[in-house]
Structure 1
Amino acid sequence: MPKYSIVVPTRNRIETLKICLESIFVQPERDMEIVVADNASADGTESYVKSLTDSRVVYTRSDEPLSMRGNWTRALQRISGDWLIFIGDDDALMPDFTALAELVMRKADVPIIAWNRPIYRWPSFAGEHERNRLKFRVGTTLKLVDSKAALKAMYQKFIKPFDMPSVYHNLVQRSLVQKITEALNGYPMSISPDMGSGILNLAYSDRFAQFDRPLSVMGYSDGSAGSAFKYTAPDSQQRNAFTSLEPEIDELIQRYPLQGLQSVEAMVFRILKDMIRFVRQAGIEIDCDLHGFADWHVRRIGFAHPDERADVVAKLHALCTENGFSDIVIPSEITNEPVGFGQQMPFIVADKAGTGGFQGQIDFSHTPVADVLGAARVLKGMLPDLK
């Protein structure tokens, strides 16, 4: 039984997959399995993975396209490691992933290890002004977080719904997944496996470790689900390619109408609402605070695609009016400049972010770096070795 199971779900992104796998192959740890969960790719992924000589690789393939949850659930059934982590096929592990993981394990006896995740936007990323850039916040602080308190803060005030300690870009003990599976007769991850698994992990654990030092880098390329909704038009090919495999999206919208809001934030509310039944089975009485959701969504209006902002504003107005949320001020006009698309950045901009930490953004457009692994290596070179 290996110590680590590194799971890489993939679908028709062989070029980024190669870079992702390289970031895993360079790990010195031999006591690991690398599970490539191929979701019916038709771009040569199967022959490529089968040609690999690294004995740690485990290949599993679906002959028919599955939803994201379907592919992730299938992959979970194949793993055997003590610790597991899912990363996307355009993501990367940091070069010192296993060394840092071992460091945290020596200091904290917890079933989940989470960390600040740098974001690298590939040259193929939909938002042209953000391409080939790495955004990061790093430090050396390791803290223990109360799982139930974090869960309640998310349901009531929507604090960090995108940063839950899920199986995605976090290390999770397989024993915790097994515990949840036994309690619920499965590991139900909702239509968003990262959010769904994060909710389950919080509900069924007491605490988790949060490390300011990254163990992985999240990549956004042209096929990323997140960028499909934030940076492409509603009828774009990229967005349609994603939603065509997720028939449950329409079902969730009908179950929780929210004035017909179809934003990413509205889907967060629907997923949280849909997962409540599993949280309550853990003995936690909780519900989504609609006022907290509306207040959070208003502060994030600028994240919507410019073509959708007027519709989002109108529907938020209707939602607040219907529920008497007169204290929530909704701006009447939103700039059409996409959030985060500002002036060209210099090579690196960094400022202090607490003791022993800093945050910044690196623009690689005038350097040889052009992929997520190159960005991870540059970031590793900026950081001190930890013992």
Structure 2
Amino acid sequence: MSRPSFSILLPSRNRLELLKHAIDSVLAQNEGNLEIIISDNASSEDYIGYIRTITSVPIRYIRGDAPISVTDNWNRALKAATGDYIVMLGDDDALTPGFIQKMSDIIEDHTHPDVVYCMAYHYAYPDVLPDQAAGYLCTVNNSSLFDESPAAYLLDMHKARQLAKQALRFRHLISFNAQHFIWRREFIERNRSGSAFFQSPYPDFFASFLTFLAAEKIVVTPTPEIIIGISKHSFGFFHANDKEEEGFREFFGESVPETALAAESDEILRALRHPGTGHYRNWLIAALYIKRYFADSIDLHIDLRRYRRIQIFELAQSSAYKKTLSRHFFRQNMKNFDTRDLRYAERLLWAFAMLDRVKTLPRPMVVYGVRELLNIHHPPKIYQHDIGNHENIMDAFHWLEKNR
């Protein structure tokens, strides 16, 4: 058999119903020489019984007897892949109609780039997001790269490097989700140098930083080509419903070698132990893994002061406005801040206490608007599509078949 053009990676654990939809979106592709790699992370559900029913596409099924970390499961799926290009498709995500054919054309037109970087749709299942219980399908334009040309184009490499370096300064100017990337396997092999391509508790953050720092040829596709799903079994559900700690226990339980990452820097070690949200801490950890990865070739700067300020912002907001954190806990931790950070924390605490007294403003929009002042994310342009009644991500897929 010839080598497949695409390997579709599907790491999964006890989410068989979601996995079926993801695979349905692959089986519905009308073109393409591809394979599916399922890395089953010690599920109790009958994956193999379902997989035996599929005969139209080659499937490689790998199962571990004991659970491993999300990152290790991603690497296990990647190791089994034989295709020329790699697509990391979460089991709650879906390909768009015609994805394989369109990616094949773009890859051929641009003479086999290292990476194709695409815009994405977001699909929320019903009863997942508290402020949008009906769910939705949206086009999410979340990077200035998607505004530079109406057609696929070759990204300037100097700009790519700058965007990666901005990510280490905690500026989210490109999307870090793995689903936005189609990697050439040769690029992955060149850049793991005996180590894993996916590293840190946030493997997609690490891989996106690595890609924009090391790839020699990135093609940007300014149209949505994949559907990123948010279900009750997604980390996005826990994040949106103020259950971050529960989500981290479910998805990101691996230990982090703090001392090794700090590399004898007290400032880094203090940053790693700074109170705040797990999300930004994992962003910092991914940045530290990248700094270590490129230690012999690129001098990378991680903005630890900005990291502390973002974490203090999150603590003050949670304490004085969202009321998910006690004021006593916040003030206890303020004792360990340096003088400038302490003044910043006091001002934030006062500001959020004042905002909390204004009862006429919609609270989710206040949180969103004030956080925008930190200039962390590129302001997204979001276009919602009326897809009618829907139950799962394949309803969005079929709507796109008729309307895209």
- What TM-score do you get using the length of structure 1 for normalisation? 0.79
Letter in 2 for 1:4: F
Deviations 1:209-249 (A, max 9, x none): 2212111110011111233234243564x553334x43449
1:240 paired to 2:260: no
Aligned partners of 1:304, 1:85: CA distance in 2, in Å?
37
Letter in 2 for 1:54: S
Secondary structure at 1:117 match in 2 = strand
Structure-2 change in CA distance of 1:11 and 1:317 (3 Å) = same
Aligned partners of 1:313, 1:369: CA distance in 2, in Å?
43
Deviations 1:316-363 (A, max 9, x none): 994995273568963424669446999xxxxxxxxxxxxxxx841135
- The more displaced of 94-103 and 298-307 is 298-307
Letter in 1 for 2:236: G
1:349 aligned partner: none
1:158 aligned partner: 171
Equivalent position to 1:291, from 305, 308, 315: 305
Structure-2 change in CA distance of 1:301 and 1:116 (3 Å) = farther
1:351 aligned partner: none
Aligned partners of 1:17, 1:64: CA distance in 2, in Å?
20
Structure-2 change in CA distance of 1:361 and 1:298 (3 Å) = farther
1:225 paired to 2:235: yes
Equivalent position to 1:171, from 173, 182, 201: 182
1:264 paired to 2:279: yes
1:361 aligned partner: 384
2:396 aligned partner: 375
Letter in 1 for 2:279: V
> Is the CA contact (8 Å cut-off) linking 1:94 and 1:377 kept in structure 2?
no
Aligned partners of 2:5, 2:169: CA distance in 1, in Å?
36
Letter in 2 for 1:71: N
Equivalent position to 2:115, from 85, 97, 112: 112
Structure-2 change in CA distance of 1:264 and 1:303 (3 Å) = farther
Q: How does 1:92-103 map to 2 (within 5 A)?
A: 92-103=94-105
- The more displaced of 372-381 and 59-68 is 372-381
Letter in 1 for 2:121: P
1:332 aligned partner: 352
Aligned partners of 2:274, 2:239: CA distance in 1, in Å?
19
Q: Which runs of 5+ in 1 are unaligned?
A: 343-357
> Is the CA contact (8 Å cut-off) linking 2:199 and 2:289 kept in structure 1?
no
Aligned partners of 1:130, 1:145: CA distance in 2, in Å?
41
1:31 CA drift (Å): 0.8
1:46 aligned partner: 48
Letter in 1 for 2:299: E
> Is the CA contact (8 Å cut-off) linking 1:126 and 1:232 kept in structure 2?
no
> Is the CA contact (8 Å cut-off) linking 1:229 and 1:239 kept in structure 2?
no
Secondary structure at 1:206 match in 2 = coil
> Is the CA contact (8 Å cut-off) linking 1:120 and 1:372 kept in structure 2?
yes
Secondary structure at 2:223 match in 1 = coil
Aligned partners of 1:312, 1:135: CA distance in 2, in Å?
40
Structure-2 change in CA distance of 1:269 and 1:99 (3 Å) = same
Secondary structure at 1:373 match in 2 = helix
Tell me the matched-pair count.
361
Letter in 1 for 2:9: V
Structure-2 change in CA distance of 1:3 and 1:141 (3 Å) = same
1:152 CA drift (Å): 1.2
Letter in 1 for 2:163: A
Secondary structure at 2:80 match in 1 = coil
Secondary structure at 1:80 match in 2 = coil
1:159 CA drift (Å): 2.9
2:86 aligned partner: 84
Q: How does 1:126-137 map to 2 (within 5 A)?
A: 127=130, 129-137=132-140
Aligned partners of 1:178, 1:312: CA distance in 2, in Å?
50
1:148 paired to 2:150: no
Letter in 2 for 1:152: K
> Is the CA contact (8 Å cut-off) linking 2:152 and 2:222 kept in structure 1?
yes
Structure-2 change in CA distance of 1:290 and 1:341 (3 Å) = closer
Secondary structure at 1:35 match in 2 = strand
2:71 aligned partner: 69
1:187 aligned partner: 197
- What TM-score do you get using the length of structure 2 for normalisation? 0.76
Secondary structure at 1:22 match in 2 = helix
Larger radius of gyration: 2
1:322 paired to 2:333: no
> Is the CA contact (8 Å cut-off) linking 1:301 and 1:312 kept in structure 2?
no
> Is the CA contact (8 Å cut-off) linking 1:302 and 1:338 kept in structure 2?
no
1:148 CA drift (Å): 1.5
1:75 CA drift (Å): 0.9
1:80 CA drift (Å): 0.3
Structure-2 change in CA distance of 1:151 and 1:46 (3 Å) = same
Q: How does 1:196-235 map to 2 (within 5 A)?
A: 196-233=206-243
Structure-2 change in CA distance of 1:381 and 1:318 (3 Å) = farther
Q: Which runs of 5+ in 2 are unaligned?
A: 263-267, 357-361, 369-380
2:372 aligned partner: none
- The more displaced of 17-26 and 48-57 is 48-57
